[in-house]
Structure 1
Amino acid sequence: MPKIEIYTQPGCPYCVRAVALLDHKKASFTEINAPHGTQERVDARERSGGRTTVPQIFVDGRAIGGCDDLFALERSGKLDALLQAA
Structure 2
Amino acid sequence: MNPIVTMYMRPTCPYCRRAELLLLQRGATDLRKLRIDLEPELRAEMIRRTGESTVPQIFIGDRYVGGCDQLVALDEAQGLTSLLAEDTV
Fold-level similarity (TM above 0.5): yes
Q: Tell me the alpha carbon deviations over residues 13-59 of structure 1, each in whole angstroms, 9 at most, x when there is no partner.
A: 100100011111231211111129811111111111x1111000011
| Equivalent position amino acid for 1:11 in 2 | T
Q: Secondary structure at the match of 2:27?
A: coil
Report the counterpart of residue 47 of structure 2 in structure 1: 45
**Whole-angstrom distance in 1 between the partners of 2:78 and 2:4:** 20
Using structure 1 for the length normalisation, give the TM-score: 0.89
Give the TM-score normalised by structure 2: 0.86
Matched residues in 1 for 2:35 and 2:61: separation?
Answer: 19
- Structure 1 residue ranges (4+ consecutive) displaced by more than 3 angstroms after TM superposition: none
CA RMSD of aligned residues (A): 1.7
| Secondary structure of 2:65 counterpart | strand
In structure 1, stretches of 5+ residues that fail to align are none
Say how many residue pairs are matched. Answer: 85
What SS is found at the alignment partner of 1:54? coil
Question: What fraction of aligned residue pairs are identical, expressed as a percent?
Answer: 38
